[in-house]
Structure 1
Amino acid sequence: MKLIYRIALRLSAVLIPLMALWATLFYFMTVDEINDEADDALADYSELIIVRMLAGRELPPLNSGSNNSYSITPVTREYADSKSHIEYYDAEVYIPEKEETEPARILSTIFCDNDDNYYELKVSMPTFEKEDLVRTILFWIVLLYLVLLLTLIGVTTWIFHRSMRPLYALLHWLDNFTLGKTNTPVPDDTHITEFHKLNVAAQEAANRSAMLFERQKQFIGNASHELQTPLAILGNRIEWLLDNTELNEKQVEELFKMQRSLGHIVRLNKTLLLLTKIENGQFPESTEVDVAALIREQAPLYNEIYESRQIDCRIDLPDRFVVSMNDSLASTLITNLLKNAYVHTEPGHSIDIALHNRTLTIANDGNTPLDADHIFDRFYQGNKKEGSTGLGLALVKAVCRYYNLDIEYRYTDGRHCFAVTWPQK
């Protein structure tokens, strides 16, 4: 998940309880303010009624057009002493004019006349529907939440992208950074201290990696080159022993084992030397290579080599597909892909080779997928095969990297599939 999306989700999560708390406070403050105003009006109205009653004057009519109502009930002294002097509360009252019950604010008070007669006065005033108020507040809170959220996300996204430009530039540079090739310096067009330190650290790490990579290449190349002569001498001496000495069966068997092991080491050494030469760019010359013709030439050879395994190879190629490559590297690319398919296909199964839209696809049957993250690493072997050096696909990857070809491995429908795509001219 991108950082900006995670920020948006966290903003949304934080705003929900904040808006809920704000809505709750707003509701109770609104209700309290309305009740205060209603209580003041009820107090004034009740005072008017009490004054008129004590003065013997005419009381206000019950229906004055405002739906306000009151009732005066004689009570005992004991009842008056048990009640609060004044009390406010909410209740439902029936309004005859409307023939319905509505919520009202009620004031209840006790007073006495000059003859010590006690009365209970209840004054009611229609008020608001709390459920309607809750629905209204909820609607506007949700609307405010959405508007505020969209505004915050928009502003945050704009600020985030402007502030994070140096980071995006560094990430883009890291995506394009390739060991063994000439890379541009880390972009450092920023005045932010943290980003500047990050760019410096990235450049230093890249320089160290490039230096170590060059040392590794030089070591492998030198070691492989220096090993050629002693390996050749060992091979010649084993052949001399087999041809010029009288050996018993056990000695001959051991010498043949040594010869096979030495042959494996020689192949490994030559492959490492070839990898080093590719990475050092020692194949500058390029010619027009017909990849389709190269496949038609090599596929029958592997069919013949692995004839005993009865592998069905189906080929779907155009008449010609000409690319500009070193002919030796083109052969290395094709032969290693073909050999990998034949070696890892079970007897009686099939291989499909197709070339369409500048993409070469070689698919073979397989029981389990390989590790796509490491399959092109040196010495990686998903299923160990006798005589394999574990460098075939590393060679394929090196050639593709040398010519900027896209190579992909995928496992679908029980088949291993390698696809190499040549870029448009």
Structure 2
Amino acid sequence: MKLFHLVLWRLSLALVVVFTVWAGLFYMAIIEEVNDEVDDSLEDYSEQLIVRSLLGEKMPDTSNGSNNQYYLYEVSKEYAAAYPQITYRDEMVYITEKREEEPARVLITIFRASNDRYMELVVYTPTIEKMDLQRAILGWIVFLYVLLLLVILLITAWVYRRNMKPLYRLLGWLDRYQLGHPNEPLDNQTKITEFHHLNETVSEFAERNEKLFEQQKQFIGNASHEMQTPLAICRNRLEMLMEDESLSERQLGELIKTHRTLENLTRMNRSLLLLCKIENGQYMDRHQVCLNELLKHYVDDYREVYAYRKIRVEMELKESFCVEMNDSLATVLVTNLLKNAFVHNVDGGVIRIETSRQAFVIRNTGSEALDGKRIFERFYQGKKKEGSTGLGLALADTICKMSQLQIRYFYEKDLHCFEISKSFQNPSSSL
């Protein structure tokens, strides 16, 4: 979720709570004020009635035309002692003048008359319909809430967008930034202290990364030159020792094993250096490359090697699979997959190559499926195969990611299948 949406969501939720509490308090305040005014009126009216009753004057009609009504009757001393002298309550009463029931405010008071008698006076007057008041208040609160919410959100959005412009400019610059390539300088003028400090920190971080990147590229270049030369010298010296006729068969066998290990170390060194160069963006130049031609060329070169293990090669190049990628990396990708199909094959097996406009698949015979989740990890080999460094498929995966391709492994009909595609497709539909 974007920060802008999160701010608006939390602000809306807070406003709902605030307006709900405010509406409740507002309603209670209105009802309290209305009741207070009506109670004062009832007290005045009841006092007039009590005075007239105590003075023995003629009492007014129980319904005086003003919707105020009263009842006066004698109660026992025990009843008077059991109840408070004055109470207020709301109830529905029948209004004689209107001949209907309406909500009314009722005052009940007990006073002592002459001859030690106790009288109860019930006075009531119609009051507001509280349910109608609640609906009216609710309607206006909803209207007010919607209006204020929209205004507050619009103002908040405007303020947020205006004040967060430096952040969005910085994010845009970071999106366009590419390590090891010419980048435009960060032009993000702002008076906000935090954003100004953030701009300086990001610029310094980018400069440090550029320096480290250049140092790493220089190290890789130097390591490639310095390590390959001693390895080549060691191989040559071993080969010269192996030509010595005075060596025993046991000594010659040990030298052959050492030479084989050194060859494997040399290939591993080349693969690791190539991986580093790819990840450092040293193969950025791209051209339209047709992998069908590369497949034909290298399959012809490897036929003798395949024939040594009686491996049959079947090619079905329906359409040309052409992509924008680096020429050298395209060669590495094809040769690594073809080598992998040979190393992890069985004697007398088959290598089947198929192409289309969107993908090409290399299949080879296999006895059981590999771990599809780990097969592209560096140095993962499953069952150890002679001549394998464990970096071939990792290299292929890195090249595909850099070239906007997808590599996928699946196992079907006793065949290991590696699919290179421009977009993800099902095995059955890609070719």
For normalisation by structure 1, the TM-score amounts to 0.76
Q: Please give the per-residue CA displacement for 1:97-121, whole angstroms capped at 9, x wherever unaligned.
A: 7776554311112345566543211
Asked whether the equivalents of residues 292 and 317 of structure 2 are also in contact (C-alpha less than 8 Å), the reply is: no
Which one-letter code corresponds to 1:60 in the other structure? Answer: D
Asked whether the equivalents of residues 363 and 417 of structure 1 are also in contact (C-alpha less than 8 Å), the reply is: yes
> How far apart, in 2, do the equivalents of 1:194 and 1:122 lie?
71
Q: Please give the per-residue CA displacement for 1:311-361, whole angstroms capped at 9, x wherever unaligned.
A: 9978565347485x66434323443455567778999899775553xx556
Q: Which is further off, 341-350 or 43-52?
A: 341-350
Asked whether the equivalents of residues 336 and 396 of structure 1 are also in contact (C-alpha less than 8 Å), the reply is: no
Kindly tell me: are residues 282 and 3 of structure 1, through their superposed partners in 2, closer, same or farther at Cα, counting changes over 3 Å?
closer
Which one-letter code corresponds to 2:242 in the other structure? Answer: L
Which one-letter code corresponds to 2:389 in the other structure? Answer: S
Q: Which residue of 2 aligns with 1:64?
A: 65
**SS, match of residue 91 in structure 1:** strand
Which one-letter code corresponds to 2:58 in the other structure? Answer: R
Q: Please give the per-residue CA displacement for 1:41-88, whole angstroms capped at 9, x wherever unaligned.
A: 22233234335544523513426263x321101134554455444322
Asked whether the equivalents of residues 409 and 418 of structure 2 are also in contact (C-alpha less than 8 Å), the reply is: yes
The 5-angstrom pairing of residues 173-184 of structure 1 reads: 173-184=173-184
Which one-letter code corresponds to 1:256 in the other structure? Answer: I
> How far apart, in 1, do the equivalents of 2:341 and 2:12 lie?
52
Q: Which residue of 2 aligns with 1:225?
A: 225
> How far apart, in 2, do the equivalents of 1:312 and 1:137 lie?
84
Asked whether the equivalents of residues 242 and 255 of structure 1 are also in contact (C-alpha less than 8 Å), the reply is: yes
**SS, match of residue 93 in structure 1:** strand
Q: Which residue of 1 aligns with 2:18?
A: 18
Q: Which residue of 2 aligns with 1:370?
A: 373
Q: Which residue of 2 aligns with 1:158?
A: 158
The 5-angstrom pairing of residues 70-219 of structure 1 reads: 70-77=70-77, 79-80=79-80, 83-95=83-95, 102-113=102-113, 117-138=117-138, 140-142=140-142, 144-219=144-219
How far apart are 1:267 and its partner, in Å? 1.7
How far apart are 1:276 and its partner, in Å? 6.5
**SS, match of residue 110 in structure 1:** strand
**SS, match of residue 406 in structure 1:** coil
Asked whether the equivalents of residues 369 and 411 of structure 2 are also in contact (C-alpha less than 8 Å), the reply is: no
Asked whether the equivalents of residues 49 and 59 of structure 2 are also in contact (C-alpha less than 8 Å), the reply is: no
Q: Which residue of 1 aligns with 2:2?
A: 2
Q: Which residue of 2 aligns with 1:263?
A: 263
> How far apart, in 2, do the equivalents of 1:413 and 1:6 lie?
45
Stretches of structure 1 that go unaligned for 5 or more consecutive residues are none
Kindly tell me: are residues 310 and 391 of structure 1, through their superposed partners in 2, closer, same or farther at Cα, counting changes over 3 Å?
closer
Kindly tell me: are residues 130 and 329 of structure 1, through their superposed partners in 2, closer, same or farther at Cα, counting changes over 3 Å?
same
Asked whether the equivalents of residues 65 and 97 of structure 2 are also in contact (C-alpha less than 8 Å), the reply is: no
The 5-angstrom pairing of residues 347-366 of structure 1 reads: 354-356=355-357, 360=359
Q: Which is further off, 269-278 or 51-60?
A: 269-278
**SS, match of residue 4 in structure 1:** helix
Which one-letter code corresponds to 2:253 in the other structure? Answer: E
Stretches of structure 2 that go unaligned for 5 or more consecutive residues are 424-431
- In the alignment of these two chains, the number of paired residues is 409
Asked whether the equivalents of residues 75 and 119 of structure 1 are also in contact (C-alpha less than 8 Å), the reply is: yes
> How far apart, in 1, do the equivalents of 2:344 and 2:63 lie?
101
Asked if 1:388 corresponds to 2:389, the answer is yes
How far apart are 1:177 and its partner, in Å? 2.5
The 5-angstrom pairing of residues 209-358 of structure 1 reads: 209-274=209-274, 281=282, 289-298=289-298, 318-319=319-320, 321=322, 327-336=327-336, 354-356=355-357
How far apart are 1:201 and its partner, in Å? 0.8
> How far apart, in 2, do the equivalents of 1:164 and 1:349 lie?
61
Which one-letter code corresponds to 2:203 in the other structure? Answer: Q
Asked whether the equivalents of residues 341 and 351 of structure 1 are also in contact (C-alpha less than 8 Å), the reply is: no
Asked whether the equivalents of residues 337 and 392 of structure 2 are also in contact (C-alpha less than 8 Å), the reply is: no
CA RMSD of aligned residues (A): 4.3
Q: Which residue of 1 aligns with 2:31?
A: 31
Kindly tell me: are residues 267 and 411 of structure 1, through their superposed partners in 2, closer, same or farther at Cα, counting changes over 3 Å?
closer
Asked whether the equivalents of residues 63 and 96 of structure 2 are also in contact (C-alpha less than 8 Å), the reply is: no
> How far apart, in 2, do the equivalents of 1:157 and 1:304 lie?
71
Asked whether the equivalents of residues 370 and 382 of structure 1 are also in contact (C-alpha less than 8 Å), the reply is: no
> How far apart, in 1, do the equivalents of 2:409 and 2:287 lie?
34
> How far apart, in 1, do the equivalents of 2:292 and 2:383 lie?
30
Asked whether the equivalents of residues 110 and 118 of structure 2 are also in contact (C-alpha less than 8 Å), the reply is: yes
Kindly tell me: are residues 412 and 289 of structure 1, through their superposed partners in 2, closer, same or farther at Cα, counting changes over 3 Å?
closer
Kindly tell me: are residues 120 and 61 of structure 1, through their superposed partners in 2, closer, same or farther at Cα, counting changes over 3 Å?
closer
